[in-house]
Structure 1
Amino acid sequence: MFYAGFDMLFSILFPILFLVVLGMILYTIIGNISTWNKNNHSPRLTVPATVVAKRTDVSHSSSANAGDMSGAHGYDTSTFTSYYVTFQVESGDRMEFEVDGSDYGLLVQGDIGKLSFQGTRYLGFERS
């Protein structure tokens, strides 16, 4: 009796969960394509700006070795760092861009120069 109820519950929940996960994946993909397209259709701008802040975002991921979900064979851990720099333009507006680690390392808070960007895409910064 218990197994029959479980089978029925599983046969109802699995398709619903599958559709929810599929919907989330599609929503993310469509959002990323939309942002990419909007950036490509935005003008490339170069404006005077000052570096006002820098930050990093470190994310961690672990997966069990040898396909063993119990972790009896240990875990592989991956770390990924995203780098962000906030610029202030002459109007007083601030814009934050994700940048490469090499650009992040070269930029210092207080640097003044010309910021180049296209939509939300960082293109570069040239000190004055």
Structure 2
Amino acid sequence: MLQAIPENFYGKYKLATSENFDNFLKEIGVGLVKRKLANTTYPTVEFIKDQNDSLIFKSHTVIKTSETKFKLGEEFDEDRLDGKRVKSVVEFVGGNQLIQTQRDGDMEIKYIREFNGEQIKVTSIANDVKCLRVYQRVAE
């Protein structure tokens, strides 16, 4: 299953643009102080494949580095950057999208990561609130 993800998707990406992020964070229950802090950071994310058929998302900010390790199609526990523990599952769809479905109680949150080799466009959806964040590949 992992072979379906093109090798050029792996690497480091830096946040370039962000639209409606504060409203999205508010919708998923992130408090004012953490939202303000999150809106001032421009994270670098890494998308990594390890030897055990697992995938890793690392997010680096000046405040914190976090790592999420998972296997496609398998539910896992995830600690969000706001400290909440949620259940998630990630699927590879359409040859260029990783779709993460996250459950926080009764709320379903979707993260659609669309790769084109040089960018990751991340559309985050909670209820009827959408956020778009675009990350540009950085040289390693």
Check whether TM > 0.5: no
Structure number with greater Rg is 1
TM category (shorter chain) comes to under 0.3
**TM-score normalized by the length of structure 2:** 0.23
Larger helix proportion of the pair: 1
TM-score, length-scaled by structure 1: 0.25
**Which of the pair is proportionally richer in strand?**
2
